[in-house]
Amino acid sequence: MELSNQQKDAVEYIGSPTLVIAGAGSGKTLTLTSKIAHLIQNGYDPARILAITFTNKAAGEMKNRLVRLTGIGPGSFPWVRTYHSACFMILKSHCSLLGYNMPLQIYAEYQQKKLLTEIMVGLNFDKKYVPAILGQISSAKNSANPGHYFDQKPCMSHIRLSDIYNLYEKELQQKNAVDFDNILFLTRNLLRDFPDVRKKYQDLFQFILVDEYQDSNNLQEELTRLFFSGSNLFCVGDDWQAIYGFRGSNVNHFLTFEKKYEKARVFRLEKNYRSSDEIVQVANSLIEYNPDKMDKKCYAKKKGGVVEIHNFYNDDEEAKWVCRKVRVLKDTGVPYNKMAVLYRTKFCSLAFEKALRYYGIPYRMMGSKGFFERKEILDINCYLAASVFPKDDVSFERIMNIPSRGIGPGMIQKIGSVMIPGMSLQDAARKVLCERLVTPKVHKGLTELIEVIDRIREQPPSEAIHTVLTSFRYLEYLQGYSKTSADYASRVENIEALIYSASQKSTLLEYLEEASLVREDKEEDKEDGFGVNLSTIHASKGLEFSAVFIAGCEEDLFPHWKSKESEAELQEERRLMYVAITRAAYYLYISYSNFRKGQPAHISRFVEEITDAVQEISGDSIPF
C-alpha cells in the first residue's frame, strides 16, 4: 500500500514530539504502524519500541501488520501492547521495590468485591455500598491523584472514602495482590519514585508511540510522560472521536499537546481512505453540530457509497429487515464478517440475536457477552429454568443465594448431603425443609424460594419474571451489585428488554427453549468466528466494515437518557454517533423504530441532524 505524502511526512519525521491529528479512517493507525516499520528499517531495535494500543485485539492486529511489513517474526515486538499489559511487564520486574514479591496476583472483580466486603463488614458498614465504593476507588486511581480525588469527593453516605481506600490498598498489599487499576497506578509510582527504574525504561524505549491518544486518562498520560525522554514520542488521535470521557478519559491531553511539548510538531491527515465520500459527508455534517472541537478537514475520493435512513414499527421489524439486507449484501459478495450491527446500549443486541438465529445467519458478539450470558439475565432465567426443570441443579444452585439468603457454599453442601441417588438439589432442598434440618434463617429463605418457584410455573413468562423481581426485591440487589449507576441502568435495560421479549411467548417452556437455542447457536458461531458482528459502538472503535447498520437511533436511547444532562455529555454522544458512521466503508444503514421494548420511541436528534445531508447525496426524499 502506497502511503500518501502527508502520511509519509509523518512517518519519516524524527526530531521532536509529534502529534498526528486526523479524522476517522485517514490512516492514523496505519501511519503509526508504518512508522514502527520505518524505524526498524533505519536501525532501531524492535524490542526497544513501545507502541500503545487501546485494546489487546488492536495490539495483535498491529503485530500482524508489522510482521508483513518488516518480514520479522511476531515475537520480535515485545512492547506492542496496551497500557495495562506493558505496565504489568514492568511491575513484575520491579515489584520488590514496592514491597511485593513474585508471583504477583491480579485480583479479578469478584476477588476485589470479596476483599472490600470483608473490610466493610469489619467496620460495621453496610455492604451494599461495596460496588459503588469500588467504582470510586477505581476512578480515584485513574485520576492519577487519589488524595486530590477524595478531597473533592470525601464521603459516600457517612463513609469516609479515603479511609476505606487506605485499608483496601493495605489489604491488597498484604495479600501480595494488585487490582487492574493498580497495574497502572503502581507502575506510575515506580517510575515516579525510583529514578533508576525510570532511567532504565527511558533508555530502553528508543521510541514511544500511542494510538487513540484522545482517549488517554490522567494516569496513562502521566505514564507516557514518565517514559518520554526528549523527542521520541509519536501520538495519533482524533478529538472528534473522544468517547470515553464518561470513564475518566481526558481529551485535554490531546488538545494541549503543543503547549506541553514546546518543540512539538503537528501533522494533519485529511483524506479518508476507509469510507466513500457520501459517508464522510454525512459524518462531517453531524459533527458540525458540536461546537467544542478542533478544526479539521475530512474528505474522501471514493464515490458510490450508500447511506440510507429507515424507520420501522418496532425493534423486531427493524432486526428482521437488517437480516434480510444482510442476506442481500452477502449475495452481492460482502462477507458476513465485513458487516456490523452497531447499537448504543447492550440490551439492543437481543432483537438481533433472535432474528439472526431465525434467519440462520452466523454472528459474533464483540466486546461484550451475548444477551443470555449476562449476569442479570442468567439469574432470572435460572429462576424460570429451576421452576420448569426441577432436575436442573446448575440453575437451582445459582439462585439459591441470589439475592443473598445466607446459603453459602458450606450450606449448599449440607443440603446436597441429604441427596440420595435420583434426587436433585431442589428435591434435597424440599427435603431439608420438611425435616427442618437447617437454621431458621435459611429455612425461611429457602421456603420463600421454593414457594416462588412453584408459583411461577404456570404463569405467563413476563408475569413470572415480574414475580421473581418483586418477590426477592431483585432490582435492589442488582443495584448493590452494580459498580456504577450507568452499569445498573444498563442491566435494568437488559431486564426490560427481556420482559418485553418474554411477553411474546405464552409459556415458560416455550420461552426457555428460545433462550437456550439463541445461546447455543452463539456458542457454535464462536468456533469459526466468521459471522456478522454485533457490537456496542464503544467496542467498535478503530475498526472498519464494508457495511454498517446503526440501529436504535432514537431519543433517550441514542443520545442515551443518562447522557443528556449536560452539553458536554451530549457532545460525547454525538461523537459516538460520528464514530459509528465512520466505521462504514461503503454501506451505511441508519434506523429507528416507533416502539422499542414495547414503549413508544422517537427519532434521534442525530438522525434529524444528518437528514439533509443524506437527502442531498441520495437525491431522494426520505420517508418518515
Residues numbered 205-264 forming contacts with ligand ATP, rule: CB under 6 A: 238, 241
The distance of closest approach from Cβ of residue 271 to ligand ATP in the complex, given in angstroms and rounded to an integer, is: 8
Q: How far is the CB of 17 from Mg ion (least distance, A)?
A: 20
Least distance to ligand ATP, CB of residue 203, Å: 30
Residue 217 binding target from Mg ion, ligand ATP, none, CB below 5 to 8 Å by type: none
| Residue with Cβ nearer Mg ion (66 or 133) | 66
Active site residue 29: yes
Q: Where are the beta strands (DSSP E) in 247-328?
A: 265-269, 271-272, 299-300, 306-314
Integer CA distances (angstroms), 387 to 358, 380, 382, in order: 26, 11, 8
Any catalytic annotation for residue 439? Answer: no
28 scored as a contact of ligand ATP (CB under 6 A):
yes
Q: What residue 274 binds from ligand ATP, Mg ion, none (CB within 5 to 8 A, per partner kind)?
A: ligand ATP
Q: Choosing from 6, 7, 29, 345, which is the catalytic residue?
A: 29
Tell me which of ligand ATP, Mg ion, none is bound by residue 7, counting a contact when its beta carbon lies within the kind-specific cut-off of 5 to 8 angstroms. Answer: ligand ATP
Contact region for ligand ATP (CB under 6 A) — 20-28, 405-413, 416-424, 587-595?
20-28
Q: Looking at 18, 26, 276, 604, which residue binds ligand ATP (CB under 6 A)? A: 26
| Contact of residue 94 among Mg ion, ligand ATP, none (CB under 5-8 Å per partner type) | none
Length of the chain in residues, anyone? Answer: 624
Nearest-angstrom CA–CA distance, 358 and 376? 24
Judged by the rule CB under 5 A, the positions of this chain that interact with Mg ion are: 28-29, 542
Query: How many contiguous H segments (helices) and E segments (strands) does the chain have?
Result: 27, 19
Distance of alpha carbon 503 from alpha carbon 511, whole angstroms? 9
Interface with ligand ATP in residues 423-462 (CB under 6 A): none
| Residue closest to ligand ATP (Cβ) | 27
Give Cβ neighbours of residue 132 (< 8 Å, ≥ 6 apart): 156, 483, 484
Cell of 298: 475530512
H or E stretch covering 544: none
564 as an active site residue: the answer is: no
Site for ligand ATP in 122-151 (CB under 6 A): none
Do 36 and 49 contact (CB within 8 A), yes or no?
yes
CB 35 to ligand ATP: min, Å? 12
Candidate residues 29, 142, 387, 591; the one interacting with ligand ATP per rule CB under 6 A: 29
Q: Phi then psi for 588, rounded to 5 degrees?
A: -135, 120
Dig out the grid coordinates for 210 from the structure. 500511542
Q: Peptide bond before 131: cis, by omega within 30 degrees of 0?
A: no
- Decide which of ligand ATP, Mg ion, none touches 614; Cβ closer than 5 to 8 Å per partner kind: none
172 binds ligand ATP (CB under 6 A): no
Q: What is the DSSP letter of 273?
A: S
Q: How far is CA 94 from CA 104, 140, 149, 197, 224, in A?
A: 11, 23, 27, 8, 18
Q: What is the DSSP letter of 261?
A: S
Report the nearest approach of ligand ATP to the CB of residue 64 (Å).
13
- For the record, the C-alpha cell of 30 comes out as 496505519
> Could you tell me if 497 and 350 are in contact, meaning their C-beta atoms sit under 8 angstroms apart?
yes
* Closest listed residue to residue 98, CA positions, set 201, 200, 176: 176
Q: What is the nearest approach in angstroms of ligand ATP to the Cβ of residue 238? A: 5
Report what 62 binds from ligand ATP, Mg ion, none; CB cut-off 5-8 Å by kind.
Answer: none
- Segment near ligand ATP (CB under 6 A), from 24-32, 150-158, 330-338, 545-553? 24-32
Residue 215 beta carbon to Mg ion: minimum distance, rounded to whole angstroms? 11
309 with 347: CB under 8 angstroms?
no
Report the nearest approach of ligand ATP to the CB of residue 585 (Å).
8
- Asked if the peptide bond before residue 623 counts as cis, ω within 30 degrees of 0, the response is no
d(CA 349, CA 354): 9
Number of residue whose CB is nearest Mg ion:
29
Beta-carbon neighbour count of residue 200 at 10 Å? Answer: 15
Minimum CB separation of residue 241 from ligand ATP in Å reads 6
620 binds, among ligand ATP, Mg ion, none (CB under 5 to 8 A by kind): none
Q: Residue 1: which of ligand ATP, Mg ion, none does it interact with, CB under 5 to 8 A by kind?
A: ligand ATP
Is there a catalytic annotation at residue 211?
A: yes
Q: Binder to ligand ATP among 17, 27, 245, 445 (CB under 6 A)?
A: 27
Residue 95's CB is within 10 A of a number of other CB atoms, namely 20
Contacts of 609 (CB under 8 A, 6+ apart): 285, 286, 289
Stretch touching ligand ATP by CB under 6 A, among 25-33, 94-102, 245-253, 396-404? 25-33
For residue 69 the three cell numbers come to 511489513
Check binding of 30 to ligand ATP (CB under 6 A): yes
Residue of 10, 11, 21, 24 interacting with ligand ATP (CB under 6 A): 24
**DSSP letter assigned to residue 76:** G
Q: Which stretch binds ligand ATP (CB under 6 A): 28-36, 57-65, 82-90, 290-298?
A: 28-36
Binding of ligand ATP by 25 (CB under 6 A): yes
Question: What is the C-alpha separation between 359 and 487, in angstroms, rounded?
Answer: 31
Q: Select the binding partner of residue 479 from Mg ion, ligand ATP, none (C-beta < 5 to 8 A, by kind).
A: none
Q: How far is the CB of 587 from ligand ATP (least distance, A)?
A: 15
Residues 268-327 that bind ligand ATP (CB under 6 A): 273-274
Residue 503 gets the label, from left (phi > 0), alpha (psi -120 to 50) or beta, of alpha
Segment 258 to 277, residues that bind ligand ATP, using CB under 6 A = 273-274
Total binding residues toward ligand ATP, as defined by CB under 6 A: 19
- In the set 188, 364, 575, 583, the catalytic residue is 583
Catalytic residue chosen out of the listed positions 112, 214, 241, 426: 241
β-strand partners of 312: 593
| Smallest distance from ligand ATP to CB 272, Å | 8
Residues 533-562, interacting with ligand ATP (CB under 6 A): 542, 544
Contact call for residue 70 and ligand ATP (CB under 6 A):
no
Q: Which residue is listed with cell 429463605?
A: 445
Instruction: Give the CA radius of gyration of the chain.
Output: 27
Secondary structure E strands in 40-185: 49-52, 80-81, 105-106, 155-156, 159-160, 177-178
| Rounded alpha-carbon distances, angstroms, from residue 217 to 51, 75, 95, 187, 315 | 17, 29, 23, 15, 36
**Residue among 27 and 445 whose Cβ is closer to ligand ATP:** 27
Question: Which H or E run includes 295?
Answer: none
- Residue 499 site contact among Mg ion, ligand ATP, none (CB < 5 to 8 Å, cut-off depends on kind): none
Binding site for ligand ATP (CB under 6 A): 1-4, 7, 22, 24-30, 238, 241, 273-274, 542, 544
- Residues designated catalytic: 28-29, 211-212, 241, 583
